[in-house]
Amino acid sequence: MSSIDVELSGYTDLPAGKVASIVTYLEMRARPLARKADRPDLSLERVTVPDPEAYRALFRRIGDEWLWFGRLALGDEELVALLARDGYELYFCRQRGVAGPVGLLELDFTARGEAELAYFGLVAEAIGNGAGRWLMNEAIARVWSRPGIERFFVHTCTADSPQALGFYRSSGFVPYKRAIEIADDPRIAGVLPREAAAHVPVIE
């Protein structure tokens, strides 16, 4: 495995073919006051037997713009095993009158006393009308209604939507750590299309 020395004061050159982002980790230690979000047209569907093709289609509709690639390199069996394991909850957000799911929610309860907001997102057409707030309220309600939970946490990064960090903070999450994430550019490997995440240039 290759490595680079990171300058903690100044700039660090990345090798061609790599992408980097600043990751912010956030947590909440108690259930916050719910912010109002009336969306009777929305519902959550618990998915206990995931269809890999349907899951990847939704994952890509939400995440291609933000360089989501972690799940796309997994084979069908590995992906289903990950999503259907004990302590993991996968939900599709549905909107009345819309054929396919419009949102994704994944909650990881595999660590005792903790819950991770593993994935959270909406398709572009569902953003900006309160659906995100509704979906977050549902996530918070599910986590804090579970006995023994002491901590709910999530992370986001600078490759994600510019609104993500502010949204998480407004939902009651508090930042506690930052990290630098460096990875192979998934567009060069063909995991994502070349035109994905145009705000992050492809450099070969």
Question: The domain containing residue 165 runs over which residues?
Answer: 18-184
**Each residue's pLDDT tens digit, 30-60:** 999 888 888 999 999 999 999 999 999 999 9
Look at residue 3 in the predicted model and tell me its pLDDT: 77
Q: Does a structural domain hold residue 190?
A: no
CA distance 105 to 89: 8
Q: Does a structural domain hold residue 74?
A: yes
**Each residue's pLDDT tens digit, 82-115:** 999 999 999 999 999 999 999 999 999 999 999 9
CB 200 within 8 A of CB 20: no
Look at residue 34 in the predicted model and tell me its pLDDT: 80
Domain count, the chain: 1
Residue where the block lists tokens 């009308």:
129
Token digits of residue 124: 């572009």
Assign residue 106 the CATH number of its domain.
3.40.630.30
Q: Does a structural domain hold residue 158?
A: yes
Q: Does a structural domain hold residue 9?
A: no
Look at residue 1 in the predicted model and tell me its pLDDT: 47
Torsions phi, psi for 180 (to 5 deg) = -105, 125
Q: Does a structural domain hold residue 174?
A: yes
Q: Does a structural domain hold residue 165?
A: yes
Tell if the pTM clears 0.85, that is, is over it.
yes
Q: Does a structural domain hold residue 191?
A: no
112: region left, alpha or beta (phi > 0 left; psi from -120 to 50 alpha): beta
Q: Does a structural domain hold residue 78?
A: yes
Pairing of strands 114-122, 151-157: parallel
